[in-house]
Amino acid sequence: MVSVPGSSVTLVSEGAECLMVSKRLFLQHANIRSLRVAGDMVMTFPTAETLESKVKENRKWKSYKSDLVQRVMRHGVTV
């Protein structure tokens, strides 16, 4: 499990009562299996740069697709 400064971790156990434990305490005392399970449950979010890149890529694809459909409709070009 990777510890990111300033980040928080929330672990949810099915049917258990809520128990708050500091991340530092958890990392100090958790066994390897618990760390692996917690690491597998972590949801990561893409960076702003990754999101921006994906948006640009999607816009380029939509533009290309639209242009291609228009050409096919106008000229009967087969793809």
Model confidence pLDDT, tens digit, residues 13-66: 677 677 788 888 888 999 999 889 888 887 788 899 999 999 999 999 999 999
Q: Indicate if 40 and 65 belong to the same structural domain.
A: no
Task: Write down the H helix ranges in 15-47.
Answer: 23-29, 32-41
Q: Indicate if 39 and 51 belong to the same structural domain.
A: no
pTM for the structure as a whole: 0.46
Query: Is residue 12 within 8 Å of residue 38, measured between CB atoms?
Result: no
Q: Report how many domains make up the chain.
A: 2
Angstrom distances, CA of residue 79 to CA of 37, 58, 60, 67, 75: 49, 21, 19, 13, 11
- Side chain identity, residue 12: V
Q: Which domain holds residue 7?
A: 1-44
